[in-house]
């Protein structure tokens, strides 16, 4: 007996240790974890950093640019020019040339080298000017795209969390009903052995137990999948043990009902906000193509040293090198590009018009989603109220049937039928509860309250 007690105590301590290792998670903790660990959100944040790097690249175009170059040439066979002999015979060393014909004369020394530093600075360029003005708006666009990703992830986590809470509650009730049905089966079996109950009563209870066991296995499998889905949406390893803490869904009815009176505000919706920023970028694009018709001006300059000689040893003497420098302005005037700029401008104007249409469309979409989500939530609240009443009545009927059975004035059939009605009411109640949390999530997203 002591040995059994020790084993039992060890099992209890082990179970307690496993529970202690579980990570307690509220709904807010889940969304916070997802914002930090969901891979879609991580990539969205990286996209913001990429856009920052691209902005810095555009900013670099407005800064001075410097470059250096150096060269050394060894003309193994220097290029030559041909001169008439009649002209060359007057120069020393060419007196023996025939009067007719041409003679090749090299004008390039065998060795040459140079070192140069070049500099340029944009004074005015329409593309650079608009890019500098638009870079803050471009960053705003990337950040709002990231906010849209965060909203979608929070929406998925919200639904997955509440679905898992409902599944846990349904599973707990099924286990309780199954335990009670087994106890009834045991009692009836004893009564039937003593000849005070029929075999059909035992079989009827057995059928109910089998149905409850099947439903219990189905719900347990759904629990596993729902928990894995929640962890996936959060970016958490699916092997991490967790326990949910926000399980009092019934207490949130007032909060859900208050959501029906929430005012609509387009600016809160990330998708609408994103299109507004896109509209600003389209306007910058139009201005860019308009300014591309203007000339661009840049200041340039270079300085360096160079020297050429036929003797390589002369190339190593720094005093032989000649210094040169230059500063100037370069004006580039667009004249005709085959109507490229005009077509680019036309495309930019069409994109602007398209974005305006998209904004009007998203406004209508928000109107529709808010209206339909409110109506759906109102209907689900009414259905849940009805299902709650039905559940309470089914529980009263089952309690009454059990009391009559224990008092010997009721039959097992009444208990079985009442148990079946209660399970049906519970299934309807939890299905409606799931519809409620989904409708609540839809309305919050439509109102822009999940960002």
Task: Give the separation between CA 31 and CA 151, rounded to whole angstroms.
Answer: 10
**Whether the Cβ atoms of residue 108 and residue 74 lie closer than 8 Å to each other:** no
Pairing of strands 322-332, 296-309: antiparallel
Report which secondary-structure segment, H or E, holds 331.
strand 322-332
For the stretch 288-347, pLDDT in tens is 999 989 999 999 999 999 999 988 888 888 888 999 999 999 999 999 888 898 999 999
Q: Which pLDDT does position 342 carry in this prediction?
A: 92
Q: Which residues contact 244 (CB under 8 A, 6 or more apart)?
A: 25, 26, 161, 164, 165, 168
Q: What is the pTM of this model?
A: 0.79
Q: How far is CA 176 from CA 98, 209, 213, 406, 423, in A?
A: 125, 12, 11, 19, 11
Task: Give the separation between CA 138 and CA 70, rounded to whole angstroms.
Answer: 40
Q: Please give the distance of CA 211 from its chain centroid, rounded to a whole number.
A: 43
Which domains does the chain possess? Answer: 23-75+124-295+337-447 (1.20.1600.10)
Backbone angles phi, psi at 406, to 5 degrees: -65, -35
**Whether the Cβ atoms of residue 192 and residue 202 lie closer than 8 Å to each other:** yes
Task: Give the separation between CA 244 and CA 253, rounded to whole angstroms.
Answer: 19
* Low-confidence stretches of the chain (pLDDT beneath 70): 1-20, 184-205
Pairing of strands 111-124, 65-74: antiparallel
Task: Give the separation between CA 43 and CA 224, rounded to whole angstroms.
Answer: 28
Task: Give the separation between CA 375 and CA 381, rounded to whole angstroms.
Answer: 10
Q: How far is CA 292 from CA 122, 125, 295, 350, 373, in A?
A: 14, 8, 8, 18, 48
Q: Which pLDDT does position 269 carry in this prediction?
A: 94
Neighbour tally for 140: CB within 10 Å: 18
**Whether the Cβ atoms of residue 274 and residue 142 lie closer than 8 Å to each other:** no
């Amino acid at each position: 007996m002591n040995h059994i007690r020790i084993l039992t105590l060890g099992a209890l301590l082990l179970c307690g240790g496993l529970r202690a290792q579980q990570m307690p998670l509220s709904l807010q903790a889940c969304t916070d974890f997802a914002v930090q660990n969901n891979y879609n959100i991580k990539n969205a944040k990286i996209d913001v950093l990429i856009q920052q790097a691209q902005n810095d690249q555009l900013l670099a175009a407005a800064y001075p640019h410097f470059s250096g170059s150096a060269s050394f040439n060894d003309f193994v066979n220097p290029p030559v020019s041909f001169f008439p002999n009649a002209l060359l015979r007057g120069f020393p060393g060419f007196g023996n040339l025939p009067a007719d014909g041409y003679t090749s004369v090299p004008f390039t020394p065998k060795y040459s080298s140079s070192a140069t530093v070049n500099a340029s600075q944009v004074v005015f360029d329409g593309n650079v000017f608009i890019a500098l003005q638009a870079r803050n708006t471009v960053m705003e666009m990337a950040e709002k795209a990231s906010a849209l990703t965060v909203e979608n992830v929070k929406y998925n986590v919200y639904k997955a969390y509440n679905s898992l809470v409902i599944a846990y509650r349904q599973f707990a009730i099924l286990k309780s009903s199954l335990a009670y049905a087994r106890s009834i089966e045991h009692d009836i079996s004893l009564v039937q052995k003593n000849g005070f109950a029929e075999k059909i009563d035992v079989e009827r209870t057995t059928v109910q137990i089998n149905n409850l066991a099947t439903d219990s296995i189905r719900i347990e499998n759904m629990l596993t999948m729902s928990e894995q889905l929640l962890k996936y949406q959060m970016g958490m390893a699916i092997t991490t043990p967790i326990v949910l803490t926000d399980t009092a869904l019934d207490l949130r009815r007032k909060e859900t009902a208050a959501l029906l009176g929430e005012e609509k505000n387009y600016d809160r919706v990330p998708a609408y906000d994103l299109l507004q920023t896109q509209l600003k970028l389209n306007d910058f694009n139009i201005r860019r193509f308009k300014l591309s018709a203007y000339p661009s001006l840049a200041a340039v300059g270079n300085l360096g040293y160079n020297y050429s000689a036929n003797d390589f040893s002369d190339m190593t003497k720094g005093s032989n090198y000649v210094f040169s420098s230059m500063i100037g302005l370069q004006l580039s005037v667009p004249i005709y590009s085959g109507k490229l700029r005009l077509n680019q401008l036309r495309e930019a104007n069409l994109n602007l018009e398209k974005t305006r249409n998209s904004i009007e469309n998203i406004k209508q979409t928000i109107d529709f989603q808010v209206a339909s989500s409110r109506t759906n939530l109102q209907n689900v609240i009414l259905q849940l109220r009805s299902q709650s009443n039905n559940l309470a009545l089914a529980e009263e009927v089952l309690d009454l049937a059990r009391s009559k059975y224990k008092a010997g004035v009721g039959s097992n059939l009444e208990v079985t039928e009442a148990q079946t009605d209660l399970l049906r009411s519970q299934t309807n109640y939890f299905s409606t509860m799931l519809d409620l949390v989904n409708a609540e999530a839809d309305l919050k997203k439509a109102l822009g309250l999940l960002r």
